[in-house]
Structures are given as structure tokens and as C-alpha cells.
Amino acid sequence: MTEAGCAAWDAVAALAREPGASDIRRLLDADPSRARRFGFRAAGLLLDLSRTSLTDPVLAALLALGQARGVARFRDAMAAGRPVNGTEGRAALHMALRAPAGGFQVGDENASATVHGTLDAMAGFVRGVHGGQILGAGGDRFTDVVNIGIGGSDLGPAMVTRALWRPGMPMRAHYLANVDAHAWEALRPRLDPRRTLVLVASKTFTTQETMTNAQLVRDWLARALGHSAVPGHLAALSTNLKGTAAFGIAPDRVFGFRDWVGGRFSLWSAVGLSIALACGLDAFAGLLAGAREMDDHFLAAPPEANLPMLLAATEVWHVNFCGYGARAVLPYDERLSRFAAHLQQLEMESLGKRVTNAGLPVRHATGPVVFGEPGTNAQHSFLQLIHQGTTPVPVDFVLVARPDHGHPASHRILLANALAQAEALARGRTEAEARAEMARAGLPAAEIDRLAPHRTFPGNRPSTSILLPALTPATLGALVALYEHKVACLGAYWDINPFDQWGVELGKQLAGGILPALEGGATAPDAATAAMIGEIRRLQEG
Ligand code: F6P
């Protein structure tokens, strides 16, 4: 698909049509300074775009396209607290969540003051729990925190806690998301109700999965400790104060945020309380500070040095001009094992849109499929398709220079694998190289002929690499903020609203209609559903 009538778009398209436009191997060989020239730094992170087919003219044209599409204007409107989420009439001010007091305004509201009021309340609560002033109903110290939430009320904090938690940190954190009660049954035996603090995390406080799980866990507390003990073990993270009160959560145990914080951008808000409880207040503050550093960079740096804008420009190149419909995220760090899961929501819920802000069908592709696993595990899973499948899939590698463990040899192997994958994707292996290698190994000529096509790698498969000096709260905060801002830039490039998610509503509504049919009290809405319900009921009854 193209964008008819946009000269800046046509200029990029013309460059994409030039012969050899995607020859990454040639670009790498032709310019030994390419890694330096396509390496960009901010907030302690290095973004390496050298293993893409970007050239100086292509990058300049993509940034000019960004200017024509209003990327910087959109960023500034977002920072000014304007209602950039047009379908819901809301601002998107997650940057205020990590800003110093006094920085951001939404209409008449001093957003930063609101944020700092909540941060202070969270800090007081965390200190009370850690210091033993806030205890379980029986006088026991809390050792475990269970965060009940789903989507943005789960993925961000779960990912961060997995990344930052180390033995000896103040509390253990557990995340209960799926309404499948197997999740609760798997968690329950690991918890002592006397020492368990439960956070119900839901922006709306109406999400079916979260409310169902919250009731299960509340009943468990009541059975174990008695009804009167339950409120002492509960807190809520929500914008819906009526809902939290109706659920029996005391007002001083509710940590709020505003509707200008989107779920998938909310880990910096009260939704991050489990991070502060598990990893400590300093870790949470460091996370916010790192994100803030990336915010400052995003707000001030010119496009040609602006990491989120450069990452967005790269994505536009791949999606719209190279025709790649997916992207893999491979953090070579086990602690980032939920990072891809977080980005899946952040990017696909934001950018999976088919109409423009004005409600017209888009005339170009929008958000790609995002998926990933940590390396090296991914190498033994889906990397085969990325090397030799029929559709190139750009990869984001995330590397960490200094590990937190004392096994340098393991870490060298890990990094060597990441670098080797990036090199193999970019350079591939020509048929001549494959043949020469087999000849060196002494294979007979007929065998070389037979295997050569299978052992040839096309190469020219793009990847970007992000290098962190170490995985700290600050570098993680900067990394996540980098992707958040990339998403906002892409919203502007594609003229779509990255802050709503109407697409998930239909399934929710239909589930509401199907539930009575499963309970036997209503007819299913269509024949296929009715047939499956019949089978399920037959198996349940038999
Ligand atoms: O799946 C849709 C969604 O609204 C996400 O955007 C959100 O993060 C998630 O549900 C949870 O919503 P809530 O925090 O309101 O429970």
C-alpha cells in the first residue's frame, strides 16, 4: 500500500526502488565506519542501526517524512497534555509520571502535582510495609505481594520485577493475570495468607478477569484469616474509586491514577506499586529517573539524533517500504524474559489500527506483528524462519554488557551468540561460501550439489541492536521509555491513534453473551458456538 499524494512518502519510495536498496552486506562492506555513523546514544543506551539497509539519504528521507507527518508536533502536543487520544478525548501523559514536580499540565490540572501526591502516598505505604508498621491482620510482616491485574495492569510490573528482583530484596512478588483458575491454584500453595499482601490492579476496576481473580483471592483470605482481617491485606491501584470502595478496599489503601495514563503505559504509576514493594523504593525511583532521561532526550534532541524517532523511522522503512509485517524482539538476557511480552501489548495494542485519526481506512500498513523470546533460547526455536524463511523479519537485539553474576565465561558465550546472529542475518552465506565450506570438510561433489541450496543463507536480513552497559533500574526505565516513544512517533507517521484499543472490546462483549449459554440458561449466538458449547457440556457432564 502507498500513501498517494504525499511527496515525502514518494521520496522514500523512490529510494526503496533503487537497485540494491536492501543490500545490507554491501553497505557493511563498503563503509567500515558504518557502525559508528549509524550508532546513536542517549540515556546510557547505544542504538545500533548499522545492520539495516538504511543509508544516509534513506534516513534523511524517512526523517523528512516524519516531519511532514507531524511526528515532532505530535510529541509536543502529547507533552503539552493535549487530548492526543482523540477517540477517548484524553491526554496521554505517561511522561508526567516520571517528571519532577511542576512539569506537566492537563487542562487545569497540575498533572505533576497529582503524580507526586500519589508517589508520596506509595512511598509512605512501602516504607510502612518494609519497616513493619503496616502488618498483616495477625501482626505478621508481609513477605509476599500478589498483583492481580491483566494487560497493562500486569505485563509492565511483572516484566520489570522479573528484570530487577534479586535475592535479598524486600519482598517476593507474584502476578496473577489469567482468569484460568489454574493460575491461582498454581500460586496459592506458595503463599501464606498471614504474610500476603494483595494488590488489585485495574484502571477501570471492571475487568472481568481481574475482578474474578480478586474475588477468589479475597475469599481465600477470608477463609484463612476471617472476614474482618481481609481489608488489612488488600490494596487497590485504580482510577475507579467507587469500584474499589464497593469491593471493600479502604480509601487509604487505594493508589490512584488518572485517565490520561493508558494501561500499557502505566507501570510508572500506582500500577508499579508491586515493583516498589518487591525491589525497593530506590529501584522504583531509579526506573522513573531512567525513563525521565529518555523523555528529556525525546523532547529535546533533533530528529537525526533522537533515538525514539530513529527507531520509528527504521520501523516505517521496514513495514512500509520493505514490506516486512513482523518484528522479533530478542533480549539476550534472561532477566528480560518478559520484555517481549510487554512490547507485544505496548506495540500491538497501540499500533494495530486500520483507520486514521479521521476514521478513514489507512492506505498503508500499520503495526507489525511483534513477538520474541530471550536469546539464546530463541535460536533453538524460531530463528530458523528468520534466517531462511520466505519473509524477512527484522530483529531487535537487546544486549547487556556487564552481567550481575560471577560467570564471565557464560556471559561471553551469550554475547557471542547475539553478535553471531546479527552478523549471520545481515551477511548470510552465499552459495559459493557454502560450497567452499563443504569442500573444506571433505564432502563429495554430489553431496555438495545436493546440500548447497539448503546451506545457503540469503542474508540482508535487518536487525537493530540496543546495548545497555548493565541492567539497572535506570537503563531499564530508559529502554522501556524508548519503545513507548517509538510507538507515539509511529502513531504520527501512520496518522492512527496509538492510545486507544477498541479492538479488544468486541471479544469482551461477546464473552458476556456466551457466558449464559455456557451456564445453560441461554442459546448461543451462532451455530458454531452452539456446537462447541454442546461438546463442552457433553464432556463436562460425561
Ligand atoms: O485488554 C484491554 C485492556 O483495556 C488493556 O488496555 C488494559 O491494559 C487491560 O485491558 C486491563 O485493564 P484494567 O487495568 O482496566 O483492568
Query: Per-residue pLDDT tens for 172-186?
Result: 999 999 999 999 999
Mean pLDDT, rounded, for 456-472: 97
Residue found under cell 556471559? 411
* Confidence check: pLDDT of 513 > 90: no
* Confidence check: pLDDT of 348 > 70: yes
- What architecture is the 3-84+301-427+461-500 domain classified under in CATH? 3-Layer(aba) Sandwich (3.40)
Atom of ligand 1 nearest to the CA of 150: 11
Cis amide prior to 376 (ω within 30 degrees):
yes
For 257-267, what is each residue's pLDDT tens digit?
999 999 999 99
Residue 502: pLDDT band by 50, 70, 90 thresholds?
A: very high
Residue found under cell 522479573? 162
Note the pLDDT of residue 4: 65
Residue ranges in 337-381 assigned as alpha helix (H): 339-343, 350-351
Note the pLDDT of residue 2: 57
Q: What is the CA radius of gyration of the chain?
A: 25
Question: b/e map of 461-482 (b: 16 or more CB within 10 Å)?
Answer: bbbbbbbbeebbbbbbbbbbbb
DSSP 279-300: H-HHHHHHHHHHHHHHHHHHHH
Residue 525: pLDDT band by 50, 70, 90 thresholds?
A: confident
Note the pLDDT of residue 145: 98
Domain 99-279 has CATH 3.40.50.10490: yes
**Average pLDDT over all residues of the chain:** 96
pLDDT above 90 covers a percentage of the chain that reads 91
Contact assessment for residue 205 and residue 244, using Cβ atoms and an 8 Å cutoff = yes
* Confidence check: pLDDT of 379 > 90: yes
Q: Looking at ligand 1, which residue's alpha carbon is closest to its atom 6?
A: 263
* Confidence check: pLDDT of 456 > 60: yes
For the chain, count helices (H), then strands (E): 22, 13
Q: Which of 179, 344, 501 to mutate to test the pocket of ligand 1 (most atoms within 8 A of CB)?
A: 501
* Confidence check: pLDDT of 55 > 80: yes
Edge-to-edge order in the sheet of strand 234-238 = 172-176, 144-148, 196-201, 234-238, 254-256
Q: Looking at ligand 1, which residue's alpha carbon is closest to its atom 10?
A: 151
CA gap 297, 319 in Å, rounded: 25
> Which amino acids bring their CB within 6 angstroms of ligand 1?
150-153, 202-204, 207, 210, 263-264, 349, 501, 504
Domain ranges across the chain: 3-84+301-427+461-500, 99-279, 503-541
Q: Which of 199, 257, 342, 504 to mutate to test the pocket of ligand 1 (most atoms within 8 A of CB)?
A: 504
For residue 281, how far is its CA from the centre of ligand 1 (angstroms)? 25
Mean pLDDT, rounded, for 117-133: 98
Note the pLDDT of residue 506: 87
Catalytic residues: 349, 380, 508
CA gap 140, 119 in Å, rounded: 25
Note the pLDDT of residue 512: 83
Cα-Cα end-to-end distance for the chain? 52
Mean pLDDT, rounded, for 299-310: 98
Q: Say if 3-84+301-427+461-500 and 99-279 have the same CATH topology.
A: yes
The three cell numbers of residue 434 are 557454502
Note the pLDDT of residue 1: 47
Residue 32: pLDDT band by 50, 70, 90 thresholds?
A: very high
Backbone angles phi, psi at 120, to 5 degrees: -65, -45
Mean pLDDT, rounded, for 459-474: 97
Contact assessment for residue 90 and residue 106, using Cβ atoms and an 8 Å cutoff = no
Spatial neighbors of 205 by CB under 8 A, at least 6 apart, are 211, 236, 238, 239, 240, 243, 244, 247
